[in-house]
Amino acid sequence: MATKGVGMANKGPSFGLSRQVQDKIDSKYDPELEQILVEWISRQCGSGVGKPEAGKTGFQTWLKDGCVLSELINSLFTGDKPVKKIASSPAAFKQMEQISQFLNASEKYGVTKTDMFQTVDLWEGKDLAAVQRTLSALGSLAITKEEGTYKGEANWFFKKAQENKRDFSDDQMKAGKNVIGLQMGSNQGASQEGMSYGRPRQIM
């Protein structure tokens, strides 16, 4: 029975609104996506990272010290690895530091800030759906970049839309400025003449 409290020791019970908010956050967690992410991370990093127990708690415990995440991000870089030191530690601040290194490296890889989870989302289990979102964004980037480092199935993540740059000459740009789009309509001949706005307001 003692194991049930592990990881929850610093959190009191949630009541009322905070409980509802937490339930809403928890409902966004996707068990199917969990399976894909676990499979991908295992393939990407090799058998050394093991696999978690199924379920949200197992997923959190597996990633909580930041080591598996650091192995994952390093596996996506071809040259210099962004996370220089990966060491498991029982100390909370060391685990959080390891998670932060993963987040910084993910940003360098191209994950946008809006797709990034906060350290406490994972470490305290506040929002594991956000952790899933970050890992999905990472998977999508890995597929999109086509650098040969991605080791998962092609259909596990969506390819991100590539930027479609268009180069217009100065003359083309100038010509475009003179075109009035049809949806803007025309204001020729428009005036307010003859428009009435109802009775004036009576001031008592």
Number of domains in the chain: 1
Structure tokens belonging to residue 99: 């998670």
User: What is the reported pLDDT for 185?
Assistant: 59
pTM over 0.75: no
Low-confidence ranges of the chain (pLDDT < 50): 1-10, 164
Query: What is the CATH classification number for the domain harbouring 93?
Result: 1.10.418.10
User: What is the reported pLDDT for 160?
Assistant: 72
> Does residue 2 sit within a domain?
no
> Does residue 170 sit within a domain?
no
What is the tens place of the pLDDT at every residue in 30-75? 999 999 999 999 999 998 999 999 999 999 999 999 999 999 999 9
How far CA 137 is from CA of 5, 60, 74, 185, in Å, comes to 32, 18, 16, 42
| 139: CB partners within 8 A, 6+ apart | 37, 40, 150, 152, 156, 157
Domain hosting residue 44, numbered range:
16-145
Q: What's the rounded Cα separation, in Å, for the pair 194 and 204?
A: 28
> Does residue 174 sit within a domain?
no
> Does residue 53 sit within a domain?
yes
H or E element at residue 20:
helix 16-27
> Does residue 110 sit within a domain?
yes
> Does residue 139 sit within a domain?
yes
User: What single-letter amino acid sits at 70?
Assistant: S
> Does residue 203 sit within a domain?
no
Q: What's the rounded Cα separation, in Å, for the pair 119 and 106?
A: 13
